Amino acid sequence: MIQDMLGNEFYVGAFKDGNLWRTNKFTDVSQYPMGSSPDMCVWERRLLYCVPVPGQSSWTEPSCDMDPNWSSQTREKRRRMDDEDVDPMDLVPDDDIKSSPTTKKMREDGFPSPLPEATDSKPGSSGSSMSSFQQVDKDNLPCLVKIYDTPESELKLNDVFEFIGVLTFDSELPVEKDDNEDLDDAMVGLPPNKVPRLHCVIHRKLAVHDFLQGSPIMEPKPHLVKEIREALFRHLTAVLGNDGCVSLRTLLCIPIASEEITRLLGQVHARVDDVAVGKLSLNLTGISKESVSVFGTRLSQAFKDLLPFTHGIPLTLEYLNTASLAPKKDYQANRLIPGVLQLPEGSHLTVDETQLQSGTLNSNGVENTNVLKTLSEFQKVEYDFQYYKMEMAADVQLLIFSEGKSNIVPADVVVPFQPSSLESSETPVAEALEAWRWYLATVRSLPHSIGSEMQKV
């Protein structure tokens, strides 16, 4: 997930080595000495600070068992390439180099020196990058992605992307303290021995369908969708303790499980002024501290089995007073400090109010309650830039557990929860889970239209 956007970085993209033009594209350091040749061209690349997707379910992660001899084979291949006199990648026509838009823009301003981080890198060190990368905790490892030749509009904050490119990382690489003084503002606190660099060759934005590992591509035919929906309905009914409670807000007999399926299919389709069209939040009332430990745990596990991104908030007085729900800008580090509610599109958020007791909220607690209320009502999160606040659009499915109607997180639908059984539901087979995931992902993405008469209502 793109957690922060660090701006653009200028680098010596091409230089003349004798009669040949060579390039530093997709590298941290030049593989050949540049010297003081006046024939240099400055290019630019975008810097994206990416992190593992918050709350990503384990079933979305593909197995990536790699050949242990992969690193040695890569190093041997690199040595063979280095032994060659000419690298085809370095042969770039003079006209293409000099006609670069960035080169024209920077020609009058001179050329900056190579990247400071290049002094910390070693030619050929990328052969050990993968072996070092396999020894770190990938669940908490950020990555600095460098983007080339891509319009800024294609990459947005909080989007989930797949990047393929050249990885450089060495966890044993020492970084001198004095080196940080020469780093650009965007690089401070991101040493190459702690944060790997990925020079992106190709990228694509990921949708929910892209996380369905083994699900076959099926046409959403009515009879097929109906069968899968009924099976999912029976499963959620069992998870909810066979609750057939009728919603007090309607005259229709809508069981909670059916209401839950409808909510899971909701998403923000459009925005009209401050109205997020398509959102649907649910507040289950009548849940005590004891019952939430049983049914809340079951339902949370069911969400993790069905949805790609799930997250939970234990809403206590201490949590509200101390947590950072909204992201904040740290100008001293020139970084966007993440908040709990900096979530990708399509995330599911469960808010548990059953542990909330009476007490006093401090200023941070009041701010957090306002952030939650804004998210529920308008599907927006206020990012704190110290001198001002900016509302960022969100698309988060909300479920609130509470004893009475929640006053902190107002929901679109309030349903009393009255289970009739404490028996645990059977663990669904893998084929059923794959079908339910396909159903939820497919139906949410189907095209729709709202007639003029319905718009008036």
| Helix or strand holding residue 237 (H, E) | helix 222-239
User: Is pLDDT of 163 > 80?
Assistant: yes
User: Is pLDDT of 324 > 90?
Assistant: yes
Number of C-beta neighbours around residue 93 at 10 A: 9
As beta bridge partners, residue 350 has 312, 399
Residues 67-77, buried b or exposed e (16+ Cβ, 10 A)?
Answer: eeeebeebeee
Cβ-contact 192, 173 below 8 angstroms? yes
| Domains of the chain, CATH where assigned | 2-206 (no CATH), 218-456 (3.40.50)
**Token couple for 407:** 């006053």
Q: What is the pLDDT of residue 240?
A: 83
Tell me how far apart the alpha carbons of residues 414 and 402 are, in angstroms, rounded to a whole number: 10
Cβ-contact 307, 316 below 8 angstroms? no
Which tens digits make up the pLDDT trace of 16-63?
A: 888 888 888 998 888 878 777 778 888 999 999 999 999 999 998 876
Q: What is the pLDDT of residue 454?
A: 67
The β-bridge relationship of strands 396-401 and 197-205 is unpaired
Which tens digits make up the pLDDT trace of 240-296?
A: 887 644 233 322 334 555 666 666 666 666 666 677 677 888 899 999 888 888 888
Nearest Cα residue to 349 out of 409, 421, 406: 409
Residue 35 CA: distances (Å) to CA of 40, 152, 218: 10, 33, 59
As beta bridge partners, residue 161 has 205
The β-bridge relationship of strands 396-401 and 347-352 is parallel
